[in-house]
Copies of this chain bind each other. A is one copy, B any other.
Amino acid sequence: MSLVVVGSVAYDGVETPHGKVDRILGGACTYIALAASYFTHTRIVGVVGDDFAPEDTEFLRSRGIDLEGLEHVPGKTFFWKGKYSPDMNDRETLATDLNVFADFQPKLPESYREEPYLLLGNIQPELQRDVLKQMRKPKLVGGDTMNYWIADHREKLLPTIREWDFLLINDSEARMLSGEHNLLKAAAAIHAMGPHTLVIKRGEYGALLFARGRHFMVPGYLLEEVFDPTGAGDCFAGGFIGYLASGGVSPTRGEIDDTDLRRAVIYGSVMGSFCCEKFGPDRFRTLSRAEIDERFHEFKTCTDF
């Protein structure tokens, strides 16, 4: 029983107050899969160009990630370049070269289609919908989206998320999607759109979970040093679904235990926090499961009263 992750695999150019890298492995699918790989077997669906480096393939493989669904096509890999503000709460996009990602048509390998867990990274809503159709008996389906699809492609986004169990978005996206500033009201409006489980990510301020008529609030982990926040939200998603896919979830679709969901939010927070400790996905070259569990318990110690 594995997790299928669909989304962008990219190269990033990143500048933060701590330094600059011209080209480092990136993309939502990459970060989600790396984070999830600590919890469950993960199979990715994405596309890269002929410039995709063998050492990056090797890095993903070293984390046990199944790359059968990673298409290699002629051309260049998706490239994004950005620069963070001094406090790293804002970033300016300096380049978005879609390259081979512009024509991405996710096709699930036959061996993926029976899998129970699906995480749809932020891509066009029609493609997300098409991927779900290719799955035969998914038990738990959810994903991410962004302001662009919410504002300009709402008619495509709404039927897409209607079929999802969970939606993971940030607070400004939740407000935009629901038309409600108040997050309790926003959550109620989003539940009515389909997803019975909503996770609102708030960056350094933590996250909120809304499910089964209750909510759970978790503050943001305090890091000594935020090196590079790129991918932190995706790693949150990867930790969240990875933990749920690891066996915490009941086998009937939608039958999720509240305790599992809360723990999944903490594991998401933990993975997002580790992501910020080095440039790009470099923290995952050395991170161990023991360190993850230690930070999970630290969350408990720092929030218990």
Give residues in A with beta carbon < 8 Å to B.
Answer: 86-87, 181-185, 202, 205-206, 208, 214-220, 222-226, 259, 262-263, 265-266, 300-305
Q: Which residues of B contact A202 (CB under 8 A)?
A: 205
Residues of B within 8 A of A181 (CB): 86-87
What is the minimal beta-carbon distance from A223 to any residue of chain B, in angstroms? 8
Please, which residues of chain B bring their CB within 8 A of the CB of A224? 182, 184-185
B205 touches A205 (CB 8 A): yes
Q: Is the CB of A206 within 8 A of B219?
A: yes
* Chain B residues whose C-beta falls within 8 Å of the C-beta of A218 in the assembled complex: 219, 303, 305
Which residues on B sit within 8 Å (CB–CB) of A225?
A: 182
Q: Is the CB of A266 within 8 A of B208?
A: no
Structural contact, B263 and A305, CB atoms closer than 8 A: yes
Known: A181-B87, A305-B266. A222 touches B216 (CB 8 A): no
Q: How far is the CB of A205 from chain B (nearest CB, A)?
A: 4
A305 touches B262 (CB 8 A): yes
Tell me how far the C-beta of A277 lies from the nearest C-beta in chain B, rounded to whole angstroms: 13
Which B residue's beta carbon lies closest to that of A305?
A: B262
Partner of A216, one of B208, B214, B265, B303: B303
User: Does A216 lie within 8 Å of B182, measured CB to CB?
Assistant: no
Once the chains bind, are A302 and B216 in contact (CB under 8 Å)?
A: yes
A87 to B86, CA, bound (A): 25
Contact present for A219 and B219 (CB under 8 Å): yes
Measured between beta carbons, the chain B residues less than 8 angstroms from A87 are 181
Question: Please, which residues of chain B bring their CB within 8 A of the CB of A219?
Answer: 205-206, 208, 217-219
